[in-house]
Structure formats: C-alpha cells, structure tokens
RNA sequence: ACCUAGGUAGCUCAGUCGGUAGAGCGUGUGACUGUUAAUCACUAGGUCGGCGGUUCGAGCCCGUCCCGGGGAGCCA
C-alpha cells in the first residue's frame, strides 16, 4: 500500500522520485498514440493531479500487438517501468514501460459515453457516474477536496470547533425554506388522531421530523459555550427551485461566533473567503489553468485580484438609492422595504462594483426572526455577500441575543412553543453573537467559473432528479 | 397548474417551400510521425424523443406525452 501511495502520478511527476527508478502507475487511459518508430504512447490519469503521465510502450512487449494496440480511452491499466526524463514536449516525466497489464477493457469503444472529445455539461449530467473521468470533473473534484480541507484548516488554526449538527431535525421553524419530511409511517395506512389528523406520535421520533435546512440554531447553542464553532455538512431544501444555483441537497459551511457583532461577521466572511482563494491558488494551479483555458478566462486573474482587494461594504439603504438611479433598466421595482431581486444583486456586484459586495442592515420585515434588531427599530443586522456571476454566496447576521426582543419577533413570526431551548440560550448567560452560511457548491462555481451548480457536486439532487 | 428556446449518427449540430438523411468530432481500418485534444485517407454508424393526426407524401404542419436546458420566484 505504501508503494501505491508513493507512486500516484502526482508523486511521480512531483520531483520526489528520482529518474531511473523503477515505478508502477495504476490508472485509466486518456489516449493512445502510435508511432512508427516502434513505440506507442499512453496518456494515463489516476485523479491525483490534472496532467496525465505518459507511458512509452515499446513494440517488443509480449502483449503489444494483441493488447496495447487495442487500448482505447477509458481502459484501466497497470504500467511498470523506469521513470525517465521525457524526450518529448509537454511533460517533464514519462515512464519507459517494461510491462503493461490491462486490468479492464472498454467494451464497445465507439459507444463509450465519455469519448476523447469535448462534451457538453448537459450531456455529462446524464452520465454522472462516468463524468468524473473527464478533465473538467476531475478538476472540480480536486478543487472540492482542496477547499474542504482549507475550510477545516482555516477554522482549526483559529480555534474554532467543528460541531456536527443534526441532519434530522424536529424543528419546523428553522425558517430557511421548505423541508423534506423524515418518516417511517406507512403512507398507505397513516395513523389518525381523534380529530382525523395524521398522528405523528406514532412516527419514529414521536413527532414530525425533517431533514435540516440549516445547522445554525444548533450551532448557536455550541457557540454560546465554546465561543467559536462552525458546521460543515449537507443541507436539504425541498424548494421547487429549477435554476443554475439551487440544489435540493447541498453542502453548507456555517461559522458562529460568540461576542461578535455584524462587523466582526463581515470581516470573518471576507477573511475566510480570501483564505480559501489563496489555498486554491497555492495548491491547484494545474486545475485553475484548465478552467482558465476552457471554461472562464477570468478565473485565475480574478482569484489573484480578490485576495488583495477589499470587499465593498454597503448598507441596504445605500444599495436601494443606487438602484433607484437606474430604475428604468430593471424589470422589478426597487423601493426601501422590498427585497432585492436577482437582477438587482447582479447589477450591484457585476456592474456597479465589479467584485464582491457585502450588503448589510436589511429591513426587518424581509429577514428571519432570529436576526438582531438594530437601534433604528426597522432594520436588522443581516448581511449578504454577493459575488458576480453567482449572486448570494453567503448569508448571515448578528443574532438577536435579547430575550424580550426575540420573544416579540417569535410571536410576530407566528412560531409556536418549539423555541424553548432556543430561548434558554438567551435566558442563561446570553451574549451578542453572529454567524453566516456559505453555500459550498456556489463557492465552487465562483472559483472555477462553472455556470451550473449541478456540475459543482458529484451527484446533484434537484426537483424530479435523484438519479445515480 | 410560471416564462422561453430545444430533442436529427456514440457526441455537437446543419437540414431551404412538405418531396429518397448531412457535416464535424469520436469509433474502426490504413498511411505517416518521439507522439501528445496529432495529422491525412477511407469505412461503418439513423424507428429524425414516443404516440396519434393532417397530407398522394411529414425531420419539417397540428395534438398529446416524455426528456434535458435557459430564465423568474425561493435562497446558500
């Protein structure tokens, strides 16, 4: 196993393995090119890095005619040979093969769904089990890994605690969207109470249960003891959203910090995002080069400028005034007290500012009950981070820590008595605290230039789609 | 039971006025070459999304269903 790890392609081409050493590579064939010089070239990838390694296969190998010349894109192979400096252009290392073992053939090569050509992402979604074999999805997968690790590293270095908040929740007032029901009741034979309603006391949890739409409320409980916490896990929204930026199942990062206000929150969001940008630039230059060449020419340059430029901090009221100046060009009205539409958010981040915008202090009426009421009595300490091309990548707020204010907002929102444990957090040693949620797949799209969020997650779940 | 444009070869698409189905890429064969998304030549590959209708005749017109996009709303 040690040998296997040492000899992935990233290691072989990374400089730590000496030329002349006998090595083995295990992977899949990207392409085969034959030369009349008596050799064939195999490009082999194993997912460890963007570039494949080139294996030079001499025609005197025993299985050259019968097997090597029949290799096509997608075949799995093990190649043993000597690691040498490449004689050709385009790579530093290559393997002079002494043995080629074909592990798995591609049957019916002309119908192999992932041919050695460009495919549309719409098509690849229909073969989601095979699309990780493409350059694009290999690159996306590696960037996801890099960002996941960077997220944990960022918080770990700053003494945040990773809190694994529940996937199943009994709270139907998380307020972030429609919920998926979790139940073991027999749908064909539902138990009823005397009033004729479904009797959820008979259900698995003895009450209605759902998949979480946010770990925030639970994270608050831990922030009010451990000071700095975050959640990172799957999130479920049963909204009938059919757009390039919505998934029914997605991953979300939610830091929550005690003794913090909205300014702290905005600063954390910007510092956090810049840290992630830097990590991608440091670790994934190979994949970024691919996205820059084939997907979005601005990708690398944008990341480089983002880590050094300040995000624009803007009051909701100021945003409204700006947008009102362009009123004629919008389909939807702009007025203080109305929520901003996608066209408005896009205008602010893409056209007016040209980089991420942190919008703060929204009208209380259009935001969730747990957001802290500002002294003006009509706005709450909410913030949205808007980025060009994606829109809202982060949403957060300072939380209402005053019990009396929270109670009035709970009452106004019509939320019932399930909030007792949440109220306890204000009854026993309450402190100002704040946090936000970042959509992981939206972040992936932003840093890769990919346009559809269904291509930012391995197996996307959207309305009417739960294949694979 | 929102708006919009689509479905034609393995993939990406063209197809004029309703009149015998086309290209590129990929696959296969051959040529050439330390090649590298190679290049060149040739071959194969089709129930034009399904069903129904109009017509002498439908890829094209009509109805209906299915599929995958883009947009809106909701939000991360």
Q: Are strands A93-104 and A53-58 parallel, antiparallel or unpaired?
A: parallel
A332 touches strand B (CB under 7 A): yes
Contacts of residue A287, Cβ cutoff 8 Å, sequence gap at least 6: A50, A138, A139, A142, A143
Q: How many Å does it take to go from CA A242 to C1' B3? A: 13
Nucleic strand B contacts from chain A, 115-174, CB < 7 Å: 115-120, 122-123, 125-126
A174 pLDDT exceeds 70?
no
Report the pLDDT averaged over residues A426-449: 96
**CB-strand contact A86/B, under 7 Å:** yes
Does A93 contact strand B, using a CB cutoff of 7 Å? Answer: no
Within 10 Å of residue A463's Cβ, how many Cβ atoms?
12
Could you read off the pLDDT of A58-99 as tens digits, one per residue? 998 989 988 999 999 999 999 999 999 998 888 999 999 999
Chain B footprint positions (protein CB, under 7 Å): 2, 10-13, 25-28, 32-38, 44, 67-76
CA of A286 to C1' of B27 (A): 30
Q: Distance between terminal CA atoms of chain A? A: 30
**Mean pLDDT computed over every residue of chain A:** 92
Whether the model clears a pTM of 0.90, i.e. scores above it, the answer is yes
Please report the pLDDT score of residue A175 as a whole number.
62
Identify the pLDDT of residue A383.
96
Q: List Cβ neighbours of A25 (8 Å cut-off, separation of 6 or more).
A: A7, A8, A9, A12, A44, A46, A53, A55, A78, A79, A95
User: Locate tokens 């000899």: which residue?
Assistant: A7
Residue bearing tokens 């007792």: A420
Q: Which of residues 181-210 of A touch strand B (CB under 7 A)?
A: none
Question: Which residues 6+ apart lie within 8 Å of A449 measured at CB?
Answer: A291, A292, A295, A296, A298, A299, A389
pLDDT digits (tens, 9 = 90+) for A121-170: 999 998 999 999 999 999 999 999 999 999 999 999 999 999 999 999 98
């Amino acid at each position: 196993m040690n040998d296997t790890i040492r000899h992935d392609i990233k290691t072989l081409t990374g400089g730590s393995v000496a030329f002349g050493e006998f090595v083995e590579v295990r992977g899949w064939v990207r392409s085969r090119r034959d030369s009349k010089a008596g050799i064939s070239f195999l490009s082999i990838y194993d997912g460890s890095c963007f570039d494949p390694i080139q294996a030079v296969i001499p025609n005197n190998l025993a299985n050259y005619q019968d097997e090597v010349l029949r290799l096509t894109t997608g075949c799995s192979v093990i190649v043993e040979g000597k690691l040498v400096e490449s004689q050709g252009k385009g790579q530093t290392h290559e393997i002079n093969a002494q043995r080629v073992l074909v592990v798995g053939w591609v049957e019916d090569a002309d119908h192999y769904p992932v041919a050695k050509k460009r495919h549309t992402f719409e098509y690849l979604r229909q073969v989601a089990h095979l699309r990780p074999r493409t350059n694009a999805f290999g690159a996306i997968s590696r960037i996801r890994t890099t960002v996941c690790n960077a997220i944990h590293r960022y918080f770990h270095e700053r003494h945040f605690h990773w809190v694994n908040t529940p996937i199943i929740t009994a709270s139907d007032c998380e307020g972030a969207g429609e919920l998926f029901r979790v139940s073991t009741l027999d749908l064909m034979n539902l138990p009823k109470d005397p009033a004729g309603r479904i009797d959820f006391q008979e259900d698995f949890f003895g009450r209605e249960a759902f998949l979480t739409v946010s770990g925030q409320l639970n994270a608050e409980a831990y922030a009010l003891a451990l000071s700095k916490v975050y959640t990172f896990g799957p999130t479920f929204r049963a909204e009938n959203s059919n757009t390039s930026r919505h998934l029914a199942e997605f991953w979300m990062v939610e830091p929550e910090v005690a003794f913090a206000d909205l300014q702290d929150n905005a600063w954390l969001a910007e510092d956090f995002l810049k840290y992630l940008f830097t990590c991608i630039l440091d670790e994934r230059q190979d994949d970024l080069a691919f996205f820059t060449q084939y997907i979005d020419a601005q990708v690398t340059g944008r990341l480089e400028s983002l880590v050094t430029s300040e995000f624009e901090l803007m009051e909701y009221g100021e945003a409204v005034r700006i947008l009102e100046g362009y009123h004629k060009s919008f389909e939807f009205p702009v007025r203080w007290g109305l929520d901003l539409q996608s066209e408005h958010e896009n205008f602010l981040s893409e056209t007016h500012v040209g980089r991420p915008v942190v919008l703060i202090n929204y009208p209380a009426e259009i935001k969730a009950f747990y957001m802290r009421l500002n002294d003006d009595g009509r706005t709450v300490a909410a913030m949205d981070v808007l980025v060009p091309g994606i829109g809202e990548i982060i949403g957060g707020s300072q939380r209402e820590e005053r019990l009396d204010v929270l109670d009035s907002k709970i009452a106004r929102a019509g939320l019932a008595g399930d909030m007792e444990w949440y109220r306890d957090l204000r009854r026993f040693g309450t402190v100002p605290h704040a946090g936000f949620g970042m959509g992981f797949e939206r972040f992936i799209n932003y840093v890769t230039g990919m346009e559809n969020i269904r291509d930012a997650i391995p197996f996307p779940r959207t309305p009417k789609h739960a294949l694979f």
